[in-house]
Structure 1
Amino acid sequence: MADYRAGKAGINAEAQARINSKYNNDIAHETLEWIKRITGQPENTAGDADNLYEVLKDGTLLCNLVNKFQDGSVKKINQSTMAFKCMENINAFLETVKKLGVPPQETFQTIDLWEKQNLYSVVICLQSLGRKAGTYGLPSIGPKEADRNVREFSEDQLKAGQNVISLQYGTNKGQQSGISFGNRRQI
C-alpha cells in the first residue's frame, strides 16, 4: 500500500469507512482456508484485513490459484515485488477469473487490492470463484450456484398472457377514499 499518501478526510473518509465496514473476518478466513486447501498456501489463514492484504498483495498466490483451475491459464507469474509486476499478476488473475465464469460485477479492480482500497470486493470475487470450483473438479465454497431453469411456452400460452392486465397499470378493485374527480373547491 502506498504509505506516502495522506489519509482520506471528509466525505472520502466516510465513504472509505462504509466500504471497510462491509468486510467480514469470518468470510475472509473461510476464503483463505479454501485457497489453502487448493494451493497449499498461505500458512496464516487469519481473516483480518491486514493478513488478507499481506497474503494476496503481490498476486502470485492468486495466479497459482487460477492455474489450479486450468493449467497454464496465467503463463507468466512475476516473482518480483516491484509495484507494476505485482499489479500485472493481479490483472492476469482478474482476466482469468472472467474467463472461468465469474461475473464482471463480482470482480474487483487491481487498485482495490494493491492499495488496500476495497478488500471486501476481493473476498467477494474469491467467493464467486469458489462457487465455480465445483465445475472444475475442485472443492467449492459458499452457496451452490443456481442451475438454469429454461421455460418453454406454447403460442396459446403466450397469447393468453397478452390479455392479462399488469399490476403496474393499477387495479380496478375498490376505490381510494377521499379522492373524487370533478368537484370544485369550496371557498
Structure 2
Amino acid sequence: MANRPKGYGNSAEVASKIDAKYSEEDELEIVAWISSLVQSSPAEKGKEAFQAWLKDGQVLCKLMNALQVGSCKPNPPYTGKAPAIKQMKEMANLGMFLNAANEYGVKHEYQFQTVDLYEAENLARVQIGLIELGRCATKKGAPGLVPKEETENKRDSKPVTEGSSAGGSVIGLQMGTNKGPSQSGQNFGMERKIRD
C-alpha cells in the first residue's frame, strides 16, 4: 500500500505541498527527545528512516509508557508470514498510542491519523503530534521536547477615564452619524388611507 502513486494533477500538487511541510530540524529534535526516553534511534536520518522507525508503533508505545507508566500496551512484534496480520497489529499499536496520547492531554486537533504515519501520507502531521506530546510532557514535569507553553496571558487593563481615550466618543463611518437631520419619523411610501 505504501507504494501507490501519489496521483496526477491537483492530487500530485497537494501531495508535494504536504511533503514540503516536513521539517528536518524538527525530525532531529523529535528523534533526540524520543531516543533519550526509550534508548532507541533510527539507523539513518531522513524522512524514510523516521517513518520506518516509528511505523510499527513499538517505539511510540514505549515513549508513552516512559511518560505515563502502563498507558500503552503494544502488541508484540509479529514474526509470522501473513503481511495482513502484521499490518493490522502495527496499525493497532499506532491506535493505542494515539488513544494514550489523547488521555495524556494531547488535543485532538494536534494528533495525526494512523495512515499519516503508517503509509507516510503526512509525516509533517506526525511531527506536529509528537511536538505537542512533548509540550504536554513539559507541562506535566516530565522531560519534554520544547519550552513550557504559557498558560496565562495576564494583561494590565486600566479603566478608561474621560479624555484619556482619544476618539472614544467618535462613531465610525460605517455606523453612520449622529449629527445632522435623520430619517426618523419619515414615511417612504404611500400612506394607508382609511375612508368611512
TM norm structure 2? 0.72
Match of 2:183 in 1: none
- 2:56 corresponds to which residue? 58
Higher mean C-alpha displacement, 108-117 vs 134-143: 134-143
Q: Kindly indicate whether the alpha-carbon contact (under 8 Å) linking 1:38 and 1:138 is maintained by their aligned counterparts in 2.
A: no
Q: How does 1:41-52 map to 2 (within 5 A)?
A: 41-44=40-43, 46=45, 48-52=46-50
Contact kept? 1:66, 1:96, Cα under 8 Å: yes
Task: Name the structure 2 match of 1:67.
Answer: 65
Match of 1:15? 14
- Do the aligned residues in 2 keep the contact of 1:130 with 1:142 (CA within 8 Å)? yes
- Shift of residue 4, structure 1, vs aligned partner: 5.0
CA distance in 2 between partners of 1:40 and 1:89 (Å):
19
Structure-2 residue corresponding to 1:93: 97
Flag the 1:84–1:147 CA change in 2: closer, same or farther, 3 A: same
Larger Cα-atom Rg: 2
1:32–1:45 Cα contact (<8 Å) kept: no
Amino acid across the alignment from 1:79: P
- How do 1:1-150 residues align onto structure 2 when only pairs under 5 Å count? 2-44=1-43, 46=45, 48-80=46-78, 82-149=86-153
Work out the CA distance in 2 between the residues paired with 1:168 and 1:95. 50
Question: After the TM superposition, which parts of structure 1 deviate over 3 Å for at least 4 consecutive aligned residues?
Answer: 148-151, 167-173
Partner SS state of residue 142, structure 2: coil
Deviations 1:134-182 (A, max 9, x none): 244422112421214589xxxxxxxxxxxx89x9994679xxxxxxxxx
Greater Cα offset, 31-40 or 133-142:
133-142
Distance 1:134 1:169 in 2: 49
For the residue of structure 2 that corresponds to 1:79, the secondary structure is: coil
| Distance in 1, Cα, partners of 2:139 & 2:44 | 25
**Does the Cα contact within 8 Å between 1:107 and 1:121 map onto a contact in 2?**
yes
Query: d(CA) in 1 for partners of 2:135 and 2:127?
Result: 12
What is the letter of the counterpart of residue 27 of structure 1? D
Maintained 8 Å contact 2:139/2:149: no
CA distance in 1, matches of 2:126, 2:142: 20
Deviation, 1:63, is 0.5
| Letter of the structure 1 residue corresponding to residue 12 of structure 2 | A
Counterpart of 1:122 in 2: which secondary structure?
Answer: helix
Q: What fraction of aligned residue pairs are identical, expressed as a percent?
A: 33
8 A Cα contact 2:30 2:131, kept in partner: yes
